[in-house]
Amino acid sequence: MIVNATDLKNNLGKYLRAVEREDVIITSNGRKIAKLTVYTEEYAADPALTNETVKEKAEAYSLFPREATFEEFLQLSEHGEDRYEYIDGVIYFLATPKTTHQQVLGELFGNFYNWFSGKKCRPLLAPYDITLKRNAENINIVQPDLMVICDLEDKLNEKDSYMGVPSLLVEILSESSRGKDAVKKLDLYMSTGVKEYWIVNPFNREVTLFLFENNDVLKNTTYKNNETVSSYIFEGLKVDLKSIF
């Protein structure tokens, strides 16, 4: 059986069951990159087969998202070069952004940088880990595309990592992150003290703003066409859509 990496990622359970009947060959951009096969004692006894399996698994980054403990996530993220997020016990692989995504991010950051210049609050760009806790047991680590932090110096730990909650977060949708940004992150940010969340949709050329209060959505507004986005919590922070799309 041959499947592409995206199909495997979206239907991992299905193919883990299918591998009991036949090997599953994984492709990416039309190229065969890895193979899922049933584990047997033959693999445990043969170093050559074991090494080959490890190599194939290392290439198959598409096995994410997957459930893991927080300790497993830390081990993966601290000892690898790839970028990951950890939300409600699930690890998500962060793909390399496309050109449109980076252009929109650059324009937005330029607007934010100019407006916040000389002010207490600071805009920062990904990659930058943000730790958000629903409770003591539910720890999440995300990398928003753009964030505004108003207590940076007060919330840095001994490792120079920020451990507070940003006032405003921005996510720019991509094909691989639509569902996570629009649903999972919306709920996470709403539940952990973020005040304002921007979802930027370059496909529809729209920006939707959410104002959170008491773990709920107090207001939300969608801007499109040539409208001007106006922040809820930072009076005077405005972005013309025609300047970012």
Q: What number is the average pLDDT over the span 154-181?
A: 95
pLDDT of the residue at 17: 67
Rounded Cα distance, 69 and 193, in Å: 23
C-alpha dist (Å) from residue 27 to 5, 23, 33 = 6, 13, 5
Q: How far from each other are the two terminal CA atoms of the chain, in whole angstroms?
A: 41
Phi (first) and psi of residue 209, to 5 degrees: -105, 140
Rounded Cα distance, 158 and 26, in Å: 42
Q: Is the pTM of this model over 0.85?
A: no
Q: Is the pLDDT of residue 200 over 70?
A: yes
Phi (first) and psi of residue 67, to 5 degrees: -75, 145
Q: Is 86 left (phi over 0), alpha (psi -120 to 50) or beta?
A: beta
Q: For the segment 84-126, what is each residue's pLDDT rounded down to a tens digit?
A: 999 999 999 999 999 999 999 999 999 999 999 999 999 999 9
Average pLDDT, the chain: 87
Give the largest Cα separation in the chain, rounded.
67
The full set of domains in the chain, from first to last, is: 1-61 (3.40.1620.10), 99-244 (3.90.1570.10)
Q: Is the pLDDT of residue 41 over 50?
A: no
Q: What is the DSSP letter of 127?
A: S
